Amino acid sequence: MTRLHLVRHGPTHAKTMVGWSDIPADLSDHTAIERLHAHFPTDAIVVSSDLSRAVDTASAIQGNRRRLPHHTDLREINFGTWELRSFKEIEAEDPELAFAYWDNPGEVRPPQGESWNDVRARVDAAVDGLIAQYKGRDLILVAHFGVILTQLQRALGINAQQAFSHRIDNLSVSEITIAQDQWSVGRINHRP
């Protein structure tokens, strides 16, 4: 049995679309960090996206746990030309595309960015590789909102729009267990 502990990085306080931009996390909530650190098995393996907000969050909760190299494919959604822009700006520029991207996720993509299906394929491949390499282990994946939703969608067997209905707070944990190729979801958006 392999267990995935999907952790969303600390808050950035950005009010714009933040995907591949390397914005640091605010890790000043030491109580939340300590609770996260204590929540996980001591022999769990830690891996994060290569963006500093995930790297620094992983470092803050790692303790003496084994740490894997940062994984580029655990990055957030690539928002292309929408990056670091507010939804209001994006909607004013192209309301139909903005609506379609969130209302009908799948093949719709922002200009020069990724569709939901692109993100899902990228993250699925990364997670599959980690599961194959560390079968039977507890894996703490410190990543992003979109990354966590891709795996919840997969484990729950729901569509992308249903996945987007889940709230994933910063410094929360969502848990997935894989046993004999069967995926099951434990807690979602848990704040230890």
DSSP 118-129: HHHHHHHHHHHH
Strand partners for 71: 49
How far apart CA 61 and CA 172 sit, in angstroms, is: 12
> Of the residues 9, 71, 114, 144, which is catalytic?
9
User: Residue 9 catalytic?
Assistant: yes
> Of the residues 71, 76, 114, 144, which is catalytic?
76
CA dihedral 82, 83, 85, 90 (to 10 degrees): 10
Q: Active-site positions? A: 9, 76
